[in-house]
Structure 1
Amino acid sequence: MTASAAGLRRTLGVGDAVVIGLGSMVGAGIFAALAPAAHAAGTGLLLGLAVAAVVAYCNALSSARLAALYPASGGTYVYGRERLGEFWGYLAGWSFVVGKTASCAAMALTVGAYVWPGQAHAVAAAAVVALTAVNYGGVQKSAWLTRLIVALVLAVLACVVVVCLVSGETDAGRLDVGASGGADGVLQAAGLLFFAFAGYARIATLGEEVRDPARTIPRAIPLALGITLVVYASVAVAVLSVLGSGGLGEATAPLADAVRAAGVPGLVPVVRIGAAVAAMGSLLALILGVSRTTLAMARDRHLPGALAAVHPRFQVPHRAELAVGAVVAVLAATVDVRGAIGFSSFGVLAYYAVANASAWTLSSAPTARVVPVVGLVGCVVLAFSLPGVSVVVGAGVLVVGAVAYAVRQRVKPGAGRG
């Protein structure tokens, strides 16, 4: 068997898959999206969180149904191709790889900002190199490291919640759910927070590396999403009760600011370490997921075929991982974290729009189509509620991808022959 044709090793169980999803979602959401979402929605932050959760849940159910039917690396790239046609699968894969590459850069920069603010870009690039090396050694090692990261981050978040809720500075009146930012602000906040929920895609893209995927993936995705929602809601309520929506929206390090305002400044260094570790966990799982989708697209020649190689010893897509790591390291050394988050959100929402459209084809029963319809409409609405620059750049990148696909189709051997 050649390296490019070799299959990936099935080593992950339900617990491993849930942990990989948690490692993506928890780190990204709490430490990167909460403050800008509060800035957009004002007192409507919790409403925005609820909207994002509903859309994410619909996407999770659609993804779980599809993953059970198509347990292969690539996630919605595979589902769109099989259910809607080659172009839609390609567009989903393009959206995922481009959008999540931006997410990788954002998470790497978050690591740098917390570890060494004066050298954030250098630290970010070093983190990418280190985690690419971990992934190169095998997905089981990645899952074990992610498990340790998730345990530490959840412990830190639990401390933040307890400190804020028992503080004398806590004021339940700050939890007013009136949407001071208006409906547009609530939707924009939901779009930004959706970026935080999207980590369950990493579970679907590991279809060739989980044991009994028809059973494991449908169980792991809702479990990971449900745990993450509980964590997000708890932290959001705790931080809002101390800072209020105005203070949270202006905070550069909201959880650290919250424990300081709660009268426990000694916990700030712990929160900073937790934030850096959480971002590392997200980055680890993101590189893992992007490389698997790159593998799937390379197998179908939508990306260079050399990226489809699987290492004969470690049984991982080593060339795809090295290529993704190199691109992310360059981005982490040059881009701005805020722009990366908005752009990534647009790409991820486009990806899940294709997932819901694919799930819609699985059954003609009206009741079975409610979830994918709600998910599809939600993805489109949230995508176009994001900041204008993110919408313009994101749509432009999708157009570039579509043009590249059309050009490739025209130059394929045999194209245009009668």
Structure 2
Amino acid sequence: MTQSGSAAEAPELRRTLGVADAVVIGLGSMVGAGIFAALGPAARAAGSGLLLGLAVAAVVAYCNATASARLAARYPASGGTYVYGRERLGEFWGYLAGWSFVVGKTASCAAMALTVGTYVWPAQAHAVAVAAVVALTAVNYGGIQKSAWLTRAIVAVVLAVLASVVVVCLGSGASDAGRLDVGASGGAGGVLQAAGLLFFAFAGYARIATLGEEVRDPAHTIPRAIPVALGIALVVYATVAVAVLSVLGPDRLGHAAAPLADAVRAAGVPGLAPVVRVGAAVAALGSLLALILGVSRTTLAMARDRHLPGALSAVHPRFQVPHRAELAVGAVVAVLAATVDVRGAIGFSSFGVLAYYAVANASAWTLDRAARARALPALGLFGCAVLAFALPAVSVVVGAGVLVVGVVAFCARRWMAAR
């Protein structure tokens, strides 16, 4: 299949990112605020099965990453699974993937901005959130290399903070490996729910694929960068989880509002807690930066096909970025961050991300007829479906509702075009 005419005729973005840049951008998304917040809810769901839940999430993420890498090498354009679904499955499935990504991740952007505000200045969380969105939108507007440079700095700070937490916890007299087995297991359902929550934190490797049009030699760069970024993130998550569990145990971890800060206090180093809070704020900035990048590129791809206003497909002649899409995304996120608190209402984002990757796996399944080549995307598709419906009921209902709204909008647009 070939790309649609609108996509083919549109001006392309500049290819400036190498393997190292792509890996760092993926890490900036995955090793973000999720590691500071996701462990608590996951432990509450899985109990002593937390590490098993992490393993399940990693397996599904690996299947999805492999599918995304193969597809990105074949279709090196902005938009990620929106493009893959359109080219391999048809316009509707590409649209559904793009819709779930743009709507879900826009809410995630606002939530991440509010997380930054809460850590930096709780009394003025909304104002700080808006300032963060404006600043990062300006960085992205200045070119992808500026975004990559800032992401390198953010990843370095976050990894240093996480390394400090691991050293303190594992070296503490409060640590006890036997605590890893203490606490009730959440059963198979709890493990799957924990896997769904943790998968959301892993999902940042999609940013690498959505930037496919800005990567040098994408057929080689993207398939290398995605598994490297995912592997590093898995090692970091597993190490931090073991360290925190060794101090708090699954029961205390499941009820911790700030798991990593509570862990360093329990390890006898309360002075490190403020540093952890700074690390969480920086990590949230990194996640927000990568999210804005990903959403704006998918918006660009959908605008090229007129699923969104065509004006958003413009590429800046000097900076070679989708500047109107970036400004539009930044404006919407800033308004949300200034007016509402969406942190408790974005569970549907996990559902949307899993729907997005289900389309990616289904698309990859069509690339090769050999049973061996189809095994991983089939497993990934099955895993996405299982984890999506293992999420809390509210997340499933709201997520499904968002998809239904997207379907109605698609059908209405087709009906109007046919008249």
On whether the aligned pair clears a TM of 0.5, the verdict is: yes
- Which residue of the partner structure matches residue 257 of structure 2? 252
| Cα distance between partner residues in 1 of 2:10 and 2:56 | 42
- Which residue of the partner structure matches residue 59 of structure 1? 64
Alignment map for 1:350-365 (pairs within 5 Å): 350-365=355-370
Contact 1:343 1:391 (8 Å CA) reproduced: yes
1:228 aligns with 2:255: no
Contact 2:296 2:325 (8 Å CA) reproduced: yes
Counterpart of 1:27 in structure 2: which amino acid? G
Per-residue CA deviation, residues 38-73 of structure 1 (Å, 9 max, x unaligned), is: 111111111110110000000000000000000000
1:336 aligns with 2:342: yes
Counterpart of 1:335 in structure 2: which amino acid? D
Contact 1:44 1:177 (8 Å CA) reproduced: no
Shift of residue 330, structure 1, vs aligned partner: 2.0
Partner SS, residue 321 of structure 2: coil
- Which residue of the partner structure matches residue 269 of structure 1? 274
Structure 2 spans left out of the alignment, 5+ residues: 1-8
- Which residue of the partner structure matches residue 407 of structure 1? 412
Q: CA RMSD in A?
A: 1.2
Contact 2:33 2:281 (8 Å CA) reproduced: no
Shift of residue 6, structure 1, vs aligned partner: 2.1
Contact 1:179 1:186 (8 Å CA) reproduced: no
Per-residue CA deviation, residues 207-239 of structure 1 (Å, 9 max, x unaligned), is: 110100000000000000000000000000000
- Which residue of the partner structure matches residue 23 of structure 1? 28
1:327 aligns with 2:332: yes
Per-residue CA deviation, residues 78-124 of structure 1 (Å, 9 max, x unaligned), is: 00000000000000000111111122122112211211122222211
TM-score under structure 2 length normalisation: 0.96
1:383 aligns with 2:374: no
Shift of residue 126, structure 1, vs aligned partner: 1.5
1:219 aligns with 2:224: yes
Shift of residue 29, structure 1, vs aligned partner: 2.5
Counterpart of 2:318 in structure 1: which amino acid? R
Shift of residue 9, structure 1, vs aligned partner: 0.8
Counterpart of 1:25 in structure 2: which amino acid? M
Partner SS, residue 208 of structure 1: helix
Contact 1:102 1:343 (8 Å CA) reproduced: no
Partner SS, residue 38 of structure 2: helix
Shift of residue 178, structure 1, vs aligned partner: 7.9
| Cα distance between partner residues in 2 of 1:180 and 1:120 | 36
1:153 aligns with 2:139: no
1:183 aligns with 2:224: no
Counterpart of 2:35 in structure 1: which amino acid? I
| Cα distance between partner residues in 2 of 1:105 and 1:234 | 29
Contact 2:183 2:251 (8 Å CA) reproduced: no
| Cα distance between partner residues in 1 of 2:37 and 2:348 | 14
| Cα distance between partner residues in 2 of 1:81 and 1:51 | 29
Match of 2:302 among 286, 294, 297: 297
Counterpart of 1:180 in structure 2: which amino acid? S
TM-score under structure 1 length normalisation: 0.96
Structure 1 spans left out of the alignment, 5+ residues: none
| Cα distance between partner residues in 1 of 2:207 and 2:274 | 30
Partner SS, residue 328 of structure 1: helix
- Which residue of the partner structure matches residue 4 of structure 2? none
Match of 2:377 among 364, 372, 376: 372
Shift of residue 332, structure 1, vs aligned partner: 2.0
Contact 1:310 1:317 (8 Å CA) reproduced: yes
Match of 1:168 among 142, 149, 173: 173
CA 184–6 in structure 1, closer or farther in 2 if over 3 Å, else same:
same
1:121 aligns with 2:126: yes
Per-residue CA deviation, residues 137-195 of structure 1 (Å, 9 max, x unaligned), is: 11110000000100111011000000000000001112128861111111111111111
- Which residue of the partner structure matches residue 90 of structure 1? 95
**Larger CA deviation: 233-242 vs 26-35:** 26-35
| Cα distance between partner residues in 1 of 2:387 and 2:33 | 18
Counterpart of 1:355 in structure 2: which amino acid? A
**Larger CA deviation: 241-250 vs 75-84:** 241-250
| Cα distance between partner residues in 2 of 1:147 and 1:276 | 15
Shift of residue 328, structure 1, vs aligned partner: 1.2
Partner SS, residue 40 of structure 1: helix
- Which residue of the partner structure matches residue 43 of structure 2? 38
CA 245–178 in structure 1, closer or farther in 2 if over 3 Å, else same:
closer
Per-residue CA deviation, residues 326-349 of structure 1 (Å, 9 max, x unaligned), is: 111122231231322x11101100
Counterpart of 1:184 in structure 2: which amino acid? G
Shift of residue 129, structure 1, vs aligned partner: 1.2
**Larger CA deviation: 4-13 vs 403-412:** 4-13
CA 384–266 in structure 1, closer or farther in 2 if over 3 Å, else same:
same
1:132 aligns with 2:137: yes
- Which residue of the partner structure matches residue 69 of structure 1? 74
Counterpart of 1:209 in structure 2: which amino acid? E
Shift of residue 32, structure 1, vs aligned partner: 2.8
Aligned identity (percent) is 85
Contact 1:39 1:248 (8 Å CA) reproduced: yes
- Which residue of the partner structure matches residue 18 of structure 2? 13
| Cα distance between partner residues in 2 of 1:348 and 1:289 | 13
1:202 aligns with 2:207: yes
1:48 aligns with 2:83: no
- Which residue of the partner structure matches residue 143 of structure 1? 148
**Larger CA deviation: 99-108 vs 49-58:** 99-108
